[in-house]
Amino acid sequence: MIIDVVIPAYNEEGTIGRVVGDIDRKLVRHVVVCNNASTDATARVAEEAGAIVVHETRRGYGAACLKAMAYLEALEAKSDIVAFMDGDYSDHPEQLKELIEPIIQRGVGMVIGSRARGEREAGSMTPQQRFGNWLATRMIKVMYGVTYTDLGPFRALTREALQKMNMQDQTYGWTVEMQVKAVKLHIPFEEIPVDYRKRGAGKSKVAGTFKGTIFAGYKIIRTILKYR
């Protein structure tokens, strides 16, 4: 199976090289980093580490993911599985093999890496992040009848599932749009425990600012309500 990895990155020059470097290249064909209007050396460091770099000038998590997905879709040999992870070194790229196993072994369409079920380093998630995750997953359970434990960024999907989802969100509603659409489209999914650590360098663009936290929370709740 052809497995590719997408990493949206905005000003992650201090960590992106380690993220790309820790991905098992015997398992993965392409690592596509979308440089999301960075003002630092993110693109150069990613390329030096062996990633393919595409550029998206519109700021937004979803916009960056969509740009990288468009690059993969334009290739003659299409991806069978696309995995997503963040560029801040909070995820553990070496757990990618565990993440894709349910797809390969049991034919599920989407696998979510759950930080809530894994080992979290102290301080890796702020109280507002933990509360936001609890609130969002609780809303999904009440409104859609399905239990998730996390909206974490580390996830993998089949190309077929991604095509069915027709992803639209350009910003922070991206992960929850994906999870809600999996329910509505009856795409089989699983959660597996993944570990999580404090970002390797720099400052979070969401939890690190009051504005980012409020906007992300608003978009997540709005997306849950929108697809209901």
Residues 82-136: pLDDT tens digits? 999 999 999 999 999 999 999 999 999 999 999 999 999 999 998 888 998 999 9
CATH topology of domain 3-226: Spore Coat Polysaccharide Biosynthesis Protein SpsA; Chain A (3.90.550)
What is the rounded CA–CA span in Å between residue 183 and residue 202?
Answer: 35
DSSP bridge pairs for 7: 33
Q: Label the pairing between strands 110-114 and 81-84.
A: unpaired
The whole-angstrom separation of Cα 151 and Cα 155 is 9
Domain residue ranges of the chain, discontinuous segments joined by +: 3-226
Tens digit of each residue's pLDDT (9 = 90 or more) over 49-75: 999 999 999 999 999 999 999 999 999
Neighbours of 190 (CB within 10 A): 15
Q: How many CA atoms lie within 13 A of 149 on its CB side?
A: 13
pTM reported for the whole predicted model:
0.93
User: How many Cα atoms sit within 13 Å of 108 on the Cβ side?
Assistant: 20
